Structure 1
Amino acid sequence: MSKISPCLWFEREAEEAANFYVSLLPDSRIEHVQRNVGDSPSGKSGTVLVVDFTLAGQRFMALNGGMRMEYSHAVSFKIDCADQREVDRLWDALGAGGRIEQCGWLRDRYGVPWQIVPSVLPQLLGDPDPAKAQRVMAAVLGMVKLDIAAL
């Protein structure tokens, strides 16, 4: 088990969000749901307080904090995708009801920022031919959803 787990703060949507996320990636599951034992700012007694879950093998915690907090691109979650089909599937699922942004970034319906990236991108950006690497970077900067064939 990892010693460090990201904690995602939600107003009241922790369980809904965790269930949504684990439905998208293999090696993902809900580990534990902790409920409030009394009334608190995060909710009434018996409502969900914390959801511990695993997403693609990485442990996470989702917390119902009782008030809306804004996420920032200063911390986001990058998903390495094996092929364009996986890019498309995750882009469509995570982007639905969210906000689509440039260069493979989006915010999901909960405001959490994600980067949906083909796993081949670092290799393309690190090409020994600087002109080729520059063309790849220029292509990425002009894209919204990343397109492997166009890179």
Structure 2
Amino acid sequence: MSKISPYLWFDGEAEEAANFYVSLLPDSRIEKVQKNPVDGPAGKAGTVLVVEFTLAGQRWMVLNGGTRVEYTRAISFKIDCADQAEVDRLWDALSSNGGKVERCGWLRDRYGLSWQIVPSVLPEMLGGSDRAGAQRAMQAMLQMVKLDIAALRKACEGV
């Protein structure tokens, strides 16, 4: 288990969010749901306080903290995608039901968390020895919202 894990603050949606996230990626599951022992700022006794879960092999925790706290773009979660089908599936799921799409493969999900949906070939294109190809791929990426692997490859290859 990693020594460091994300710990996110929600206002009553912690269990819903955890269930949503674990539905998206393999090697994901709810580990533990802790209930409020007493009435307090985080909710009434017996309501969900903390959810511990594993997301793609990484431990996470979410807390119903009692008040809404907005997340900023300064922190985001990157998902490395093997192919366009995975990019499309995760993009559609995370941007649905009130999510907001942004440029360059970034989006905010319905809970306000920022995600980067990145094909695993992109760092290879941008960091490869073909510097002109890397520049073309970067320029193409800067024009995209959801990343398109075929279009990035064409740009990188100068096609």
- Shorter-normalised TM-score: what interval? over 0.9
Mapped to 2, the partners of 1:76 and 1:39 lie a distance apart of 32
Mapped to 1, the partners of 2:16 and 2:103 lie a distance apart of 27
Structure 1: gaps (5+ residues): none
1:115 maps to what in 2?
Answer: 116
Q: Does 1:145 align with 2:123?
A: no
1:54-99, Cα deviation, whole Å (9 max, x unpaired): 0000000000001011111111100000000000000000000211
Mapped to 2, the partners of 1:70 and 1:98 lie a distance apart of 14
Q: For 1:31, give the aligned amino acid.
A: E
Q: Does 1:129 align with 2:135?
A: no
1:18-67, Cα deviation, whole Å (9 max, x unpaired): 00000000000000000000001000000000000000000000000010
Mapped to 2, the partners of 1:73 and 1:124 lie a distance apart of 25
Mapped to 2, the partners of 1:33 and 1:146 lie a distance apart of 35
1:15 maps to what in 2?
Answer: 15
Mapped to 1, the partners of 2:36 and 2:69 lie a distance apart of 20
Q: CA offset at residue 106 of structure 1?
A: 0.3
Q: CA offset at residue 127 of structure 1?
A: 1.9
Specify the SS of the correspondent of 2:16. helix
- Structure 1 runs of 4+ with >6 Å offset: none
Specify the SS of the correspondent of 1:18. helix
Q: For 1:113, give the aligned amino acid.
A: S
Q: For 2:16, give the aligned amino acid.
A: E
Mapped to 1, the partners of 2:70 and 2:48 lie a distance apart of 20
TM-score normalised by structure 2 residue count:
0.94
1:79 maps to what in 2?
Answer: 79
Q: For 2:70, give the aligned amino acid.
A: E
Q: For 1:108, give the aligned amino acid.
A: D
Report how many residues are paired: 151
Structure 2: gaps (5+ residues): 153-159
Q: Does 1:101 align with 2:102?
A: yes
Q: CA offset at residue 143 of structure 1?
A: 0.3
Identity %: 76
2:34 maps to what in 1?
Answer: 34
Select the structure that is richer in helix.
Answer: 2
Task: Please say which of residues 69-78 and 22-31 is displaced more in the overlay.
Answer: 69-78
2:70 maps to what in 1?
Answer: 70
